Amino acid sequence: MIGAIISLMGSIFLFLGALGVLRMPDTYNRMQAGTKATTMGSILTLLGIGIYHLPWLPQSLILIMFITATNPLSSHALARASHFSGIPLTEKTVVDRLREEYEKDEAAVSKEGENE
């Protein structure tokens, strides 16, 4: 019974993540909503399956570790690639720290090139 409840909670997270992907205003917010919700939803679903059917618990834990490691990393890589390829932010975005860091590094490199 506990495994079924945990799996149901995971399914709710997955549904809310899909809803967030549809409702968010830009690519970056959609990635963030999808990644966080699907990571937690997948973890809860797999944990619930492992508890419900105990022989599958070791495989579920291995999958949970894999998802925990790869899902945020892949989302980060996609967000950086989207940013550097010029996909625009929503107008509501106030701070773009990646652009600030990139411009600071670019200025340092050009200043270093002038000194040589």
- How confident is the model over 7-51, as pLDDT tens digits? 999 999 999 999 988 888 888 888 888 888 889 999 999 999 999
Residue 93's closest CA among 38, 17, 19, 24?
Answer: 24
Q: Select the more confidently predicted residue: 101 or 11.
A: 11
pLDDT given for residue 33 in this prediction? 85
Range 77-94 average pLDDT: 82
For residue 113, being part of any structural domain is answered with no
Question: What is the b/e burial string over 4-39, where b = at least 16 CB atoms within 10 angstroms of the residue's CB?
Answer: eebbebbeebbebbeebbeebeebbbbbebbbbbbb
Q: Is the pLDDT of residue 96 over 80?
A: no
| Domain range enclosing 28 | 2-88
For residue 103, being part of any structural domain is answered with no
pTM: 0.75
Q: Is the pLDDT of residue 108 over 80?
A: no
For residue 116, being part of any structural domain is answered with no
How many folded domains does the chain comprise? 1
Confidence of residue 107 (pLDDT cuts 50, 70, 90): low
pLDDT given for residue 109 in this prediction? 62
For residue 105, being part of any structural domain is answered with no
For residue 49, being part of any structural domain is answered with yes
